Chains A and B, each alone.
Chain A
Amino acid sequence: MTLTETPTDDDLAAGLEAGFEATIARNDRIEPRDWMPDGYRRTLVRQIAQHAHSEIIGMQPEGNWITRAPSLRRKAILLAKVQDEAGHGLYLYSAAETLGVSRLELTELLIAGKQKYSSIFNYPTLSYADVGTIGWLVDGAAICNQVPLCRTSYGPYGRAMIRVCKEESFHQRQGYELLTTMMRGTDEQRAMVQESVDRFWWPALMMFGPPDADSPNTAQSMAWGIKRNTNDELRQKFVDMSVPQAEALGVTLPDPELRWNEERGHHDFGQPDWEEFMQGVKGNGPCNAQRMAHRRRAHEDGAWVREAATAYAAKGLDTPRSSLGGNSTTERTGR
């Protein structure tokens, strides 16, 4: 730990930066204790924290249907899914914490409106088909975003994403399976699915962010290995992936410009309403106020509970268990 020689600060800084650059160049991972440029750290915190916020806020639109799920099997699936989203938020907050921020601080930045979350969650869920559509399109788009992040240059973020992606694949499958089941049901159900897809298609395309031409900082994020693909690349991939899935499902996608381009080997497609998107980012979307109020209320209502646990722990009345094996659950409670 002690240094035998004391290099100048400038030498030290140059060496650290060179080491960081070399790690990135080797396509190796940066770990929490490594030196990293301040801009890299801050960009990561913004990205990871807001990803975490998205997971937590994202519990609400689907959570809206837990109490009304139309079968017990669907209720179990939906409850497990929304629970996973809390887990994803937790993994991601943990990754952000390795960068020197606290979860509580991040939560407070969220509820103060200073940090954001994905605008997709500012759209309302209006029918049970939306549970399926969110799984298929919204989680599908998220997977397109997140799979490349498993190879992001920051180790903890990449590792959190591996687990998140595993669970997201379950989410996407359950959504698509719900829709295919509904399409085999009644005419009303089929109409419900189509209406839901019509409503979520464009917002799903917005999830990839504005066109590359309007994203001036992409280059730095790509150079740092934080970002692996541009917005337009990912959007194209998502469209190409979704078109055959829509055909298999038996729904149409609400874009008159959507067609296969033989020359490019990709689908051509239209642009979403970027003005509506920006309104959502600015806080003027259909559910921004509702989502924020819900999160703020849950956080504030929980304050006395969190304080009680801290106070109880400080009293040192409890002794830890030495182990937690399979049979611990049969132990008596109390002390």
Chain B
Amino acid sequence: MSELPAEGGHGAVPLADVPTGVGVPAPEKEWPLYEVFVRGKRGLNHVHVGSLHAADDRMALLHARDVYTRRNEGVSIWVVRADAITASSPDEKDPMFAPSGDKVYRHPTFYDIPDDVPHM
């Protein structure tokens, strides 16, 4: 029988032998990925809250308001295309991220939040 974990999140789902799509290049027709940063209120830094897909920058902003702030007035949002972010990490020198590294791992999201961000 397939492995059925409790943590399918919203309920048990099989894990064994399920294809993952890992290593399958992103279909070109997919909208690019954007990272979303929100300033929850004045006096706070913009904080990374997640990501979304949009065809272009303006659509990304509209979507970010819908998805991440429910369009709360006064909240400031930045969006940036994920592939425009230059990132470093302690494990940067692992072979997967050599300059010729595999582009499928293109998503720099969810990095650690710097220590000086208040209320984190």
Contacts and interface: CB of A to CB of B under 8 A. Distances in A.
Q: What is the size category of the interface that chain A forms with chain B?
A: 35 or more
Q: In this complex, which of B29, B55, B57 has the most chain A Cβ atoms within 10 angstroms of its Cβ?
A: B55
A210 B12 contact: yes
Given A98-B107, A215-B5, A105 B26 contact: yes
A189 interface: no
Contact of B15 (A46, A92, A103): A46
Given A12-B95, A281-B2, A310-B55, A231 B11 contact: no
Interface string B7-19: 1111111111011
B93 interface: yes
A326 B77 CA distance: 10
A39 to B, nearest CB: 11
A124 B60 CA distance: 35
A16 B18 contact: no
A334 B15 CA distance: 48
A160 to B, nearest CB: 8
Interface of A: prevailing SS? helix
Interface in A207-237: 207-210, 214-218, 221, 226-231, 234-235
A87 B36 CA distance: 14
Contact of A119 (B9, B11, B77, B95): B11
A138 to B, nearest CB: 8
B89 to A, nearest CB: 4
Interface in A124-142: 138, 141-142
Given A35-B94, A156-B109, A209-B12, A229 B20 contact: no
Contacts of B110: 31-32, 95, 98, 155-156, 159
A149 interface: yes
A105 B9 contact: no
A203 to B, nearest CB: 9
B9 to A, nearest CB: 3
A263 interface: no
A32 B108 contact: yes
Contacts of B29: 104, 306-307, 310
A95 B112 CA distance: 14
Contact of A218 (B5, B106, B107): B5
Interface of A: 1, 3, 12, 16, 19, 31-35, 41-43, 45-51, 54-55, 58, 87, 90-92, 94-95, 97-106, 109, 114-121, 138, 141-142, 145-146, 148-149, 152, 155-156, 159-161, 163-164, 206-210, 214-218, 221, 226-231, 234-235, 278, 281, 306-307, 309-310, 312-313, 318, 320-321, 323-326
21 contacts: A1-B92, A32-B110, A33-B105, A46-B15, A49-B20, A50-B15, A54-B9, A95-B110, A101-B20, A103-B30, A104-B30, A117-B10, A146-B7, A148-B7, A156-B110, A281-B4, A306-B29, A307-B29, A310-B55, A320-B57, A326-B74
Given A324-B76, A326-B73, 4 more contacts: A45-B22, A100-B22, A145-B10, A230-B6
Interface of B: 1-16, 18-27, 29-31, 33, 50-53, 55-59, 61, 65, 67, 73-77, 87, 89, 91-99, 102, 104-112
